[in-house]
Structure 1
Amino acid sequence: MSTDATRADLSPDLAEALQRAAGARHLVVASDYDGTLAPFVDDPTKAVPIEGALDVLAELAALPETTVALLSGRNREGLAGVSGASAPIVLVGSHGSEWEGGFEQPLDPEAEALLARLHEAFDEIVDRTPGAHVESKPTAAVLHVRPVEDPAERERAMAEAMAGPATFDGVFVTEGKNVVEIAVREASKGAAIERLVEQTGAEVALFLGDDVTDERGFARLRPEDIGVKVGDGETAAGYRVADIPAVVDLLRELARLRAAH
């Protein structure tokens, strides 16, 4: 899409917010991955960014005093592999708990035992739900039901997860679109954004996300920050764009404005 068309597609309020972000002394641009830069697919290993997404992120990351980060529920290694992103783009996995160099501290034996119990409970659900699978993370177990063909079976499996393992003492639950992640250590994209802002001293942070898991990021933004919801649904974000191509258009316009400063 042309730059002129991009400008025309931005709401006046969002266009004004981008102007403000572009003029910040230091800017953090953080984005969710699945559903924000890459379409959802049944095989998560094939969820690649749409054309232009990685290029514009790299363009922004190359600008002075501009920190660009991908914040994902995926583990960091998997995020790097599927996205193709690398330094200077910052990769943060496992909903904000996994940074370069791994996790800040290993799990204690009690947490390891709880994680094993979560896997057992999820495995029982998967055994009676063809198409479902469990993803293992260092601090969490994740139930995926997107590949399940019968919508009623998807809902049933999600309900069982929320009524069973999600109620275990000491767990932290993140329910998304066709996914339930249960962790034994608390993490959030909101805390990750705050950490990026603290590390850089950013005047403005812009965060883009589409899922209910991203609402924790939007909820913890400062008044001067900019939250952009992708797609429909209730949100704490102050702004909204329609879809993934609109995200790329927004980022292109931000890169143009930032470069002009």
Structure 2
Amino acid sequence: MLPAELIGALDVAAATPRLLVTSDFDGTLAPIVNDPAAARALPAAAESLIALADLPDTHTALVSGRALGVLRDLSAMPPSVHLVGSHGAEFLSGFAHDVDETLLGRMVAELDAIATNRPGVAVETKPASVALHIRNASDADGEAALAAARAASTEWDAHVTAGKAVLEFAVIDTDKGEAVDILREQTSATVVVFLGDDVTDEKAFRRMREDDIGIKVGPGDTAAGFRIGTPDDVADVLAYLLAARRS
């Protein structure tokens, strides 16, 4: 059962002239899994997001930390759903800023060395960033890897983002809030709904305006106005919004 206050806000959003519904992918539309390559959107949530995109004056988007190509493959979304990767920096038209390939290569090499001989520590290379994952590592190896990565990063001109069991280093500025505002302008949205679970989603929650709806998924401090528990609740939110928008 969704909170009554959230249902009231969704009813207001459903009646807006031009609606934009945006969501993170991992931990929001898709449950968190140990193998990042195995992440898949909950079918009910994906179906509602796609159906919303097919309604008049309604747009939907995924704004994820994943590289855009990976997000496209894992989400299996049709072209009607906007996709933005790399924590808001990577659009279908390309990156919002120039990519320093030399620095990116250096960071990948140094993080690979840090991950060596630490089972469960993994390095994920993206087009404009590199992420150090410790979800599958022991506490000791994970903390040691993060400490070494933070120390190494003092020599890099990189933007550092801490997430759930991950530390990411980008050679461009990344901001999900900026990405949501770009989508808002492109779609002329009068209300935006954004759902997210991670600390990187807080930049988007802080960009919410009057009548916008920020929904935090799971525990943790947040600037979002509403909170739900799990990706299953995300599916319920999207299903409710779809029904309300149709009516």
Counterpart AA for 1:214: D
Which amino acid in structure 1 is aligned with residue 108 of structure 2? H
Output the CA distance in 1 between the equivalents of 2:88 and 2:57: 22
Q: 1:190–1:217: 8 Å Cα contact kept in structure 2?
A: yes
Query: Is the Cα contact below 8 Å between 2:16 and 2:190 reproduced in 1?
Result: yes
Query: What is the rounded CA distance, in whole Å, between the counterparts of 1:202 and 1:217 in structure 2?
Result: 15
Match of 1:63 in 2: 55
1:158–1:178: 8 Å Cα contact kept in structure 2? no
User: Which residue of structure 2 lines up, in the alignment, with residue 95 of structure 1?
Assistant: 87
Partner of 2:210: 223
Q: Which amino acid aligns with 2:243?
A: R
TM-score (norm 1): 0.91
Q: Could you tell me how far apart the structure 1 residues matched to 2:140 and 2:221 are?
A: 24
Work out the percentage of aligned pairs sharing the same amino acid.
45
Matched residue, 1:116: 105
1:29 to 3, 21, 42: 21
What's the CA shift string for 1:200-229, capped at 9, x where partnerless?
111110000001111111112223311000
Deviation at residue 152 of structure 1 after TM alignment: 2.4
Question: Partners in 1 of 2:82 and 2:172 — Cα distance?
Answer: 22
Match of 1:39 among 25, 31, 34: 31
CA distance in 1, matches of 2:219, 2:123: 27
Question: What is the CA–CA distance in structure 2 between the aligned matches of 1:257 and 1:22, rounded to whole Å?
Answer: 6
Corresponding residue for residue 116 of structure 2: 127
Distance 2:144 2:43 in 1: 36
Runs of 4+ in 1 over 2 A off after TM superposition: 101-107, 167-170
2:140 to 139, 152, 161: 152
Partner of 2:219: 232
Paired positions, count: 247
**Superposed displacement of residue 104, structure 1:** 4.2
In 1, the alpha carbon distance for the partners of 2:3 and 2:192 equals 19
Aligned equivalent of 1:248:
235
- SS class of match (2:91): coil
Could you tell me which runs of 5 or more consecutive residues in structure 1 were left unpaired when the two chains were aligned.
1-8
Shift of 1:169: 4.5
CA distance in 2, matches of 1:239, 1:15: 10
Counterpart code for 2:207: R
For 1:168 and 1:230, locate their aligned partners in 2 and report how far apart those are by CA, in whole Å: 35
Match of 1:192 among 176, 179, 194: 179
Structure 1 residue 136 displacement after superposition = 1.2
Q: Find the counterpart in structure 1 of residue 5 from structure 2.
A: 13
Asked if 2 retains the 8 angstrom alpha-carbon contact of 1:133 and 1:144, the reply is yes
| Cross-structure match for 2:244 | 257
TM-score, normalising length: structure 2: 0.95
- Are the equivalent residues in 2 in contact too, given 1:96–1:188 (CA < 8 A)? yes
**Secondary structure, aligned partner of 2:219:** coil
1:163 is aligned, of 136, 145, 151, to: 151
Any idea what the Cα deviations from partners look like across 1:145-198, whole Å, max 9, x if unmatched? 1122x1222122122222322x33521111101111100100111000000111
C-alpha spacing 1:170/1:224, structure 2 compared with 1 (3 Å): farther
CA contact (8 A) 2:68 2:86 kept: yes
Question: For each residue in 1:10-44, what CA deviation from the matched residue of structure 2 results, as whole angstroms up to 9, or x when unmatched?
Answer: 21211111011101111110000000011111221
Write the distance in 2 (CA, Å) between the matches of 1:67 and 1:168.
41
**Deviation larger for 179-188 or 216-225:** 216-225
Q: Which amino acid aligns with 1:228?
A: I
